[in-house]
Amino acid sequence: MIPLPPPSVRSNFIRHIHLSGVTPFHIAQTIQSTLVSRLLEYKKETSAQQDPDLKPPAPIPTVLTFQPTPVYTTGRRELQTPLSEPLLKSLREPLIPLSTTHLLIIRKPFSSSSKKEQIADVVQTPRGGLITFHGPGQLVIYPIIDLLAFRNLGAKCYVNLLEESTIRLLHTMGLNILGRTENPGVWLNEGEKIASLGVHLRRNVSSYGVGLNMIMERGWWDRITACGLNGKKIVGIDEQLSDIETRDFANQENWRSSYKAMLENGAAVAQTWVDEFAAGLGRLDRGEKCEESKTTSEKDILSTSEETTKLGNVNGTHWTGWEDMPESVKNLIPLDIRGGNELNISTGGGYVEYRRWKGE
């Protein structure tokens, strides 16, 4: 279990929780919703308290990273227009992956499985944007923070920070990418998208975030027009290895093997993204200007609400609260989030002190 930093310095830290392996999507959703609920409850309980010295410590800002089981998620713009039955049928068709078969899929009752045939869930979410895919080989990044707890961090600036953190990460990995276009997400070039963005804000508390394609499993993506963008292509980092500069490496074959292993594991990629995110918060904290996203419309990425939106799994029952969740599932959730016994799955991460970052 990752220990908490001392209370006296917790305001300078963001926590990183990385779920190792491939995590059931609804488990990650439960962790996220619990963290969001704690922040919202804290804001409600302390809203009338004007003296900061009398306020209890706020829940620590957290970035949750993981690779999920296969799932198609819809955005808030699709809540009023359900997916058609023919599309739902096609999304539920079994698929035998070609690129991610080496990644063990966690299945009920949460044991690793090497079963080749996989079926994706279809889940409604309140984030901005339209339908997209998440699954093994993709790093999903969910910052759960109160934007008002950070200096100079408005909604548009927050979207910019998600983009900038992803762009800087990809640059450190040797990719020469375009970055931003008028369309949402992070782009390799004008026609190829390498990371998707979709955010929800409730009372300035963030949820959802970034989906970064590390290892591309094209069969899942071929079923949808990702994020509603016709004529555009979704790509992965693994497909760009031949274009990454390797002249500084004596043994290119060993380098490629190590690089692919890093993508399969995802932990180092996740930690670097969190470091870049913390560095960005540090720059804002020092008063540096936030450049707004080039995306033509906020609704393509961002959605906001004051009340909880009723959502669900489009093709089955899922757990929505502690009362109907089995103990075996509760045991997957970090101790300081749920209470109880120690975590039963492997996690990584730690804490990053964002105010120490000097930036570029």
Active site residues: 227
Q: Is residue 125 helix, strand or coil?
A: coil
The answer to whether the CB of 96 falls within 8 A of the CB of 218 is: no
Phi-psi group of 110: left, alpha or beta (phi > 0 → left; psi -120 to 50 → alpha; rest → beta): left
First-last CA distance in the chain: 33
Question: What is the Cα–Cα distance from 118 to 139, expressed in whole angstroms?
Answer: 19
In the DSSP assignment, the letter for residue 38 is H
Can you tell me the distance from the alpha carbon of 210 to that of 140, in angstroms, rounded to the nearest whole number? 6
- Sorted by sequence, the CB contacts under 8 Å of residue 203 that are 6+ apart come out as 40, 43, 306
Residue type for 135, please?
G
- How far is residue 319's CA from residue 25's CA, in Å, rounded to a whole number? 11
Distances from the Cα of 45 to the Cα of 133, 157, 204, angstroms: 37, 27, 16
Q: Is 300 exposed, middle or buried (0-12, 13-18, 19+ CB in 10 A)?
A: buried
Q: What is the CA radius of gyration of the chain?
A: 20
Cα 173 off chain centre by: 19
Integer CA distances (angstroms), 34 to 4, 139, 321, in order: 17, 20, 9
Which residue matches tokens 């109907």? 324
Task: Give the H/E segment covering residue 41.
Answer: helix 25-46
Say if CB 39 and CB 58 are below 8 A apart. Answer: yes
Could you give the CA distance from residue 196 to residue 255 in angstroms, rounded to a whole number? 27
Per DSSP, the chain holds a count of helices (H) and strands (E) of: 8, 14
